[in-house]
């Protein structure tokens, strides 16, 4: 980054809310139905159909607003944004322009440059559009997504680099996931960010001309797009050219952006108050109820974990970086497992398998009950750690009951010392060289013999016990 310039970034973040039904009708929001099966006269813009606001949308918007320190417009309203496009069945989108539900908030982020507050200009509610499919024969429309509820979180231009942008997005994602208001998956589009970016000479007070970047489908794409756009704008200025106010589309494959439309061809959306919907009146009691129902958020959890559990800060950060992980962690402890033990399973085996299977913590399948059982099996000495790891892998994929699994597959440890000794005699007989090595002072040879014994026992022995018996037998 050129140190003679400062980058100024603001974000518009769209979040798809986790309601069961759409914002203005009772159609399902479920993903992946056959085209146009989750539709009705309202969300396909049939003549005479009327919207009715889904109360849960307001509650989620309020919850996000309160958790991001916003003020609440107690008299809020919907407006129509008029534009023609086939994915929008009414040719207007019901959104909020004049009186958005939340405004004037902010969240604290922690980036490489330290802590700072990123202001939130407003949060408003709106409906999603349908999907178009283009092929040689023409264009098809699926209105299943039409009317899926969204909130748009508009930040102040308070960010200065990609690092801060990512920290802000992570912060929003965690708050919203913890609230249960959305799963916030960038790849699947349930969280989408448009980046407004301008550059100015270091120390300048006036903002430069900004561009808006769309089609950013991952944190990596956002980082690359920001770096590319900073560079592009600085180069323009250095060359004595002007930055054009426009909307650009990021092509992550080619790592560059293209202009979509300039300010001159910006549409006039002819916003006006939606006459088919009553104003949204929010009482103090309602706000208090939402506040009261707010779950413990990540920052609060981190503080509590530090106080309650003896685990490293690093572990706390990882575990709380996903609501799902934090929930499993707490549930498993409630079932009697030691925090350190639970943390280890999450930090090591779970993280490894997530990476291997390329999935997110939100997709974890195993239940806290089964993890608690597995931990108990190890603690009781019913299985050893090696076996436990194998069982865990199966559990990770299928959420099997570890007790049943261990029993059915005969994985329990052989506690019969007689049987163990018999095997050890066989191993000693079969490996005279190693025995000789050990007796000649090569202590590592014992490890080999333990390994051979474990293999012969198919892992179902306590390695410490094997070690002990072997050592005793050979030291005679």
Interacting residue ranges for other proteins, rule: CB under 8 A? 41, 44-53, 80, 82, 84, 86, 89-92, 141, 268, 270-272, 275-278
CB neighbours of residue 86 within 10 Å: 12
> In whole angstroms, what is the distance from residue 255 CA to residue 11 CA?
20
Tokens of 61: 């918007």
Task: Give 41 or 259: the residue with its C-beta nearer to other proteins.
Answer: 41
Could you tell me the two tokens for 355?
């990476």
SS3 for 85? Answer: coil
**Shortest distance in whole angstroms from residue 51 CB to other proteins:** 7
Closest CA to 29 of 264, 37, 38: 38
Please identify, using beta-carbon distances, which residue of 51 and 402 lies nearer to other proteins.
Answer: 51
**Pairing state between β 256-262 and 92-95:** unpaired
Find the shortest distance in angstroms from Cβ 278 to other proteins.
5
Neighbouring residues of 331: CB distance < 8 A, sequence distance ≥ 6: 368, 369
Which two three-digit tokens encode residue 68? 């991001």
Q: How far is the CB of 139 from other proteins (least distance, A)?
A: 8
Rank residues 53 and 414 by Cβ distance to other proteins and give the closer one: 53
Q: How many residues does the chain have?
A: 476
Distance separating alpha carbons of residues 397 and 375, to the nearest angstrom? 17
Measured from the CB of residue 95, what is the shortest distance to other proteins in angstroms? Answer: 13
Work out how close the CB of 5 gets to other proteins at its nearest, in angstroms, rounded to a whole number.
Answer: 33
- Residue nearer to other proteins on the CB measure, 258 or 272: 272
Residue among 278 and 419 whose Cβ is closer to other proteins: 278
Q: What are phi and psi of 5, to 5 degrees?
A: -125, 155
By C-beta, is 56 or 228 nearer to other proteins?
A: 56
CB of 40 to other proteins, least distance (A): 9
Rounded Cα distance, 47 and 49, in Å? 6
Q: Nearer Cβ to other proteins, position 255 or 276?
A: 276
Q: How is residue 116 written in tokens?
A: 């700072």
Least distance from other proteins to the Cβ atom of residue 144, Å: 15
Rounded-to-integer distance, Cα 217 and Cα 25, Å? 28
DSSP H/E element including 331: helix 323-334
């Amino acid at each position: 980054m050129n140190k003679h310039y400062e980058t100024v970034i603001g974000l518009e973040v769209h979040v798809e809310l986790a309601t069961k039904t759409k914002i203005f009708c009772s159609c399902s929001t479920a993903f992946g139905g056959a085209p146009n099966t989750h539709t009705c006269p309202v969300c396909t813009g049939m003549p005479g159909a009327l919207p009715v606001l889904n109360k849960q949308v307001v509650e989620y918007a309020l919850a996000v607003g309160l958790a991001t320190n916003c003020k609440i417009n107690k008299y809020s309203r919907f407006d129509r944004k008029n534009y023609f496009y086939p994915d929008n069945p009414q040719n207007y989108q019901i959104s909020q322009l004049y009186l958005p539900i939340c405004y004037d908030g902010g969240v604290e982020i922690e980036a490489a440059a330290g802590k700072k507050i990123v202001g939130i200009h407003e949060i408003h509610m709106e409906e999603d559009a349908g999907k178009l499919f283009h092929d040689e024969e023409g264009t098809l429309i699926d209105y299943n997504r039409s009317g899926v509820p969204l909130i748009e979180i508009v930040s102040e231009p308070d960010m200065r680099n990609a690092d801060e942008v990512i920290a802000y997005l992570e912060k929003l994602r965690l708050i919203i996931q913890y609230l249960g208001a959305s799963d916030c998956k960038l790849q699947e589009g349930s969280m989408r960010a448009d980046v407004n970016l301008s550059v100015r000479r270091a120390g300048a007070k006036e903002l430069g001309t900004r561009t808006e970047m769309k089609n950013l489908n991952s944190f990596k794409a956002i980082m690359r797009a920001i770096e590319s756009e900073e560079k592009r704008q600085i180069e323009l200025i250095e060359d004595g050219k002007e930055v054009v106010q426009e909307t650009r589309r990021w092509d992550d494959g080619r790592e560059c952006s293209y202009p979509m439309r300039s300010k001159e061809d910006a549409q006039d959306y002819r916003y006006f108050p939606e006459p088919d919907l009553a104003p949204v009146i929010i009482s103090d009691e309602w706000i208090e109820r939402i506040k009261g129902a707010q779950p413990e958020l990540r920052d609060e959890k981190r503080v509590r974990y530090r106080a309650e559990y003896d685990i490293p800060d690093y572990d706390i950060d990882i575990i709380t970086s996903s609501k799902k992980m934090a929930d499993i962690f707490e549930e498993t402890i409630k079932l009697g497992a030691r925090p350190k033990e639970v943390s280890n399973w999450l930090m090591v085996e779970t993280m490894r398998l997530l990476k291997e299977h390329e999935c997110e913590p939100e997709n974890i399948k195993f239940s806290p009950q089964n993890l608690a059982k597995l931990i108990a099996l190890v603690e009781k000495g019913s299985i050893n750690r090696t076996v436990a790891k194998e069982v865990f892998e199966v559990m990770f994929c299928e959420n099997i009951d570890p007790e049943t699994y261990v029993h059915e597959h005969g994985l329990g440890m052989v506690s019969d010392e007689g049987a163990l000794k018999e095997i050890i005699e066989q191993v000693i007989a079969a490996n005279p060289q190693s025995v000789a090595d050990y007796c000649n002072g090569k202590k590592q040879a014992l490890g080999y013999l333990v390994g051979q014994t474990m293999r012969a026992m198919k892992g179902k022995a306590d390695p410490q016990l094997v070690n002990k018996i072997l050592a005793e037998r050979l030291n005679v």
